[in-house]
Structure 1
Amino acid sequence: MFLLVLLQVLQPAGAQFCPDLCVCSGGAAELRSVQCGGAGMSALPVNVPPDTVKLRLERTLISRVPRAAFYNLSELRFLWLSYNSVTSVHPSSFVNLKALRELRLDGNLLTSFPWEGLRDMPRLQTLGLNNNRLSSLPAHAALFLPNITYLDLSSNRLTILPAELLDLWFPLPELQKGPVRRKILGLHDNPWLCDCQLSMLTSLSSSLGSPVVLMDQLLMCSRSMAPSGMLLTRAELSRCTRPSVQPAATRVVSPLGSNVILRCDASGYPTPTLTWIRTSAYTDCCQQNLLQNSEQPPRILESFMQGSPRVGVRWSIITLNGLSYQDAGEYRCQARNMAGTSEAPIKLKVMGVTRLSRFPKRKPKKTPFKSSPKFRKPNQTLPEKESPFIFPPLKNKIQKV
């Protein structure tokens, strides 16, 4: 392999080799295209012209895509690996494909896909993974799909749609950054577990002005909430709603040593579950010596009391007794059901002083005593150590009375 790459680098300009079992076209002023195929090919070709823009490897016996398989093809924009025998793709297979716009791996034998490998293709917009054997769609896939506008996952073995993908495809208005780009999704022909996630996807995609368009709206339910084979549009999942959280107060200020009750209410269908999480702490002037570990990870708190007065509604409270400065911080009330997750923050601030300050004792001022002339004897002076608040003449007068 090294000799082939070296020979390719040392060859004269304008002279290009075409791999065996391949047809090369274009070059120079015309964009170069390479198409390979046939049962005689069982490995990726290593001497593809480096100026290739479009590479098609179809109907071969290629079973794996190794690390840095296309590293020398930095100008590649279209990569089609359709209807081969690919069972595995290395996470670093697409290194240096920064110009790639379209990747198709349809019609293979993939049971998983390295979603983190999409980071090496920042301009990728089209991803075709249909007609494979994918059985799961992990939640972390949403981290690598923001730029994908065409995603085909049809004809696989998918059953569950993560809530993170709904957040990606249908972002809340306050979380939108720039104009919303329309996305085309292929999800049909999968044995879906018909739950609220899928119900929300179909209902939102069919609404006017939806950012998502489904290639086929007729998604089939295989089990669970709908009978086997029933169309999702006919399943009774119209009540599914993502939770909404409403805290009793978003900011609480309480004195040191007091008792505080934090409460939040949530609504949604199915009835959401509530969890309290402490996420951060204050660092104000009065507790700077106590809160030294504010970088600790969130701590899940057990709710003191929780109840559901009716279907679709749940409330929860936690009680903090004898507040200290270590109790101050941000508490999040998190609600979750099959339709998604929502949360609301409550900021708790503890007021008071960390310790009592001792003030210096003030010495009484020594001032000369001025007695009334009426009760002072001639040439009488006040004793030096006698308190200025004792009036001997006045005492004598009171005794006489």
Structure 2
Amino acid sequence: MPLLWVLLLLQWSIPRVLPCPPLCTCTSAQAAQEPRSVLCSDPRILTVPTNVPINTVKLRLERTQISRLPRAAFYNLSELRFLWLTYSTLRSVHPSSFVNLKTLRELRLDGNQLTTFPWEGLRDTPRLQILDLHNNRLSSLPAHAALSLANITFLDLSSNRLTLLPAELLDLWFPLPGQQQSTVQRRVLGLHDNPWQCDCQISMVASLSVSLGSPVVLVDPVLICVRSVGQGGALLMPVQWSRCMRPSVQPAATRVVSPLGSNVILRCEATGYPTPTLSWVKAAAYSDCCQQEISPDADQLPKSLQSFMQGSPRVGVRWSVISLNGLSYNDAGEYRCQAKNMAGISEAPIKLRIVGLSRTNRPPKKPPPSPKQPPQKSNRRPNQLSPLDSIKRPNAAK
């Protein structure tokens, strides 16, 4: 029996060496005799290896023939921090390929043939900081990509086929004053070697990235913009940055007085380049003589209001109206029409006053009328005439 215990102890003390996938090389960490880094760089590899050790921290799949990443391709690798799948033939990535990669910090997919990328799939990698999509075939960058890039500090989109940057990304990279966090997050962007259109978005990136204290640094500040399809490129020069124009807001009226219970329409118009977006906010509440008529919720300001209607008659111009029906004293206050584009934000106030009777200035009620006196009874007989009757009717005596 003691000999059996000795053998068991020896078996437990010997570190387990997990098998390495075929056509791959595994490197053990110095602190523990277990494979932590796996390198697979054989062109005969057609799919993601399924027997990668579960304690792998770094997985490199380089110069393989892997053409697609299926659903939950790395589900068992919960400790993975670095994932490289570079210079292969990757053409598609399933939106759920990165499920369970909660500790992933670095994802490099450069040198492939990706035409699209599932940005929503990055929600499964909350700690991702480095994303490299250099040298692919991406032709569009959707607006919702900004929702998944909040924690990214290095993003390389260079050497693709991108032409436009959505405004949502500029809001993320260059937050307006009052909207940025207390600590500015520095980001490194690779945007060069793309056929950008000469618009305000790419111009603003080039302009703001070279400003003092910019939160964004470009890997290569020289960007090429293409004026139209089929024409040659031209260096994006600072003179083109002047195309961007901060919005200017003009309300139809700055003061509006409307009776209690009526309907009113507030309208404003904004100009700027690119065409600004409009929103309405109730910034203050007041009611002069009728403060007690305002509900307690009026203190929770400002309030965002839904626009009733918006229109854009031409590029650079937009108007918006809101309709307030059945006005009460609670509707009185200051409304602000806010216009925003990537060049800045502007707003214009509209003060709405409600007029009508209130509890404090209503006229006093009139006293009720006194009860009517009953008619007095006469002592005359029915056919008896009074002296006055004979005067009024002189012929009656004849």
Instruction: Tell me which residue corresponds to 1:17.
Output: 19
Amino acid of the structure 1 residue aligned with 2:190: G
Match for residue 131 of structure 1? Answer: 135
Amino acid at match of 1:14: R
Instruction: Give me the whole-angstrom Cα distance separating, in 2, the residues matched to 1:337 and 1:177.
Output: 19
Instruction: Give the secondary structure class of the aligned counterpart of 2:227.
Output: strand
**Are the structure 2 counterparts of residues 351 and 216 from structure 1 closer, same or farther at C-alpha, using a change threshold of 3 Å?**
same
- After TM superposition, the structure 1 = structure 2 runs for residues 182-331 of structure 1, keeping only pairs within 5 Å, are 182-224=186-228, 228-233=232-237, 236-245=240-249, 247=251, 254-256=258-260, 262-264=266-268, 266-269=270-273, 272=275, 298-301=306-309, 324=327
Structure 1 runs not aligned, ≥5 long: 1-11, 289-296, 367-382, 388-401
Write the deviation string for residues 199-226 of structure 1: whole angstroms up to 9, x where unpaired.
Answer: 111000011111000001111012249x
Pick closer, same or farther for the CA change 1:384–1:230 going to 2, 3 Å: closer
Looking at structure 2, the residues matched to 300 and 287 of structure 1 have their Cα atoms a distance apart, in angstroms, of: 23
SS at match of 1:221: strand
SS of structure 2 residue aligned to 1:173: coil
Runs of at least 5 residues in structure 2 that lack an aligned partner in the other structure: 1-13, 286-290, 296-304, 377-398
Q: Which residue of 154, 161, 178 maps to 2:165?
A: 161
Give, in whole Å, the separation in 2 of the partners of 1:349 and 1:17.
78
Tell me the TM-score normalized by structure 1: 0.71
Cα shift readout 1:287-338 (whole Å, capped 9, x = no counterpart): 99xxxxxxxx9454257xx999xx98x6958597996569959977464668
The residue number in structure 1 matching 2:66 is 62
d(CA) in 2 for partners of 1:165, 1:47: 38
CA shift for structure 1 position 26:
1.4
Which string of whole-angstrom CA distances, capped at 9 and with x for unpartnered residues, describes residues 31-88 of structure 1?
A: 8111001111000001111111111000000011111111111111111011111111
1:161 aligned partner, one-letter code: L
Report SS of the residue matched to 1:160. coil
2:182 corresponding residue in structure 1:
178
Q: Using a 3 Å threshold, how does the CA distance of structure 1 residues 340 and 62 change in structure 2: closer, same or farther?
A: farther
The aligned counterpart of 1:152 is 156
Contact kept? 1:21, 1:38, Cα under 8 Å: yes
Residue 75 of structure 1 is matched in structure 2 by 79
User: How far is 1:276 from its partner?
Assistant: 7.1
Indicate the percent of aligned positions where both proteins have the same amino acid.
61
**Displacement of 1:233:** 1.8
**Counterpart-to-counterpart distance in 1, 2:321 and 2:49:** 64
Distance 1:24 1:105 in 2: 21
* Aligned mates of 1:327, 1:274 — CA distance in 2: 27
Q: Is the 8 A contact 2:24 2:42 kept in 1?
A: no
CA distance in 1, matches of 2:143, 2:278: 20
Q: TM-score, normalised by structure 2?
A: 0.71
Partner of 1:86: 90
Amino acid at match of 2:134: N
Gap change, CA 1:64 and 1:363, over 3 Å in 2:
same
Give me the CA root mean square deviation: 4.5
Per the alignment, do residues 57 and 197 of structure 1 end up closer, same or farther by CA in structure 2, a change over 3 Å counting?
A: same
CA distance in 1, matches of 2:179, 2:322: 32
> Residue 302 and residue 267 in structure 1: after superposition, are their counterparts in 2 closer, same or farther (change >3 A)?
closer
Q: Distance in 2 between matches of 1:350 and 1:14?
A: 81
Alpha-carbon distance in 2 for matches of 1:64, 1:315: 44
Q: How many residues align?
A: 343
- What amino acid is the match of 1:195? D
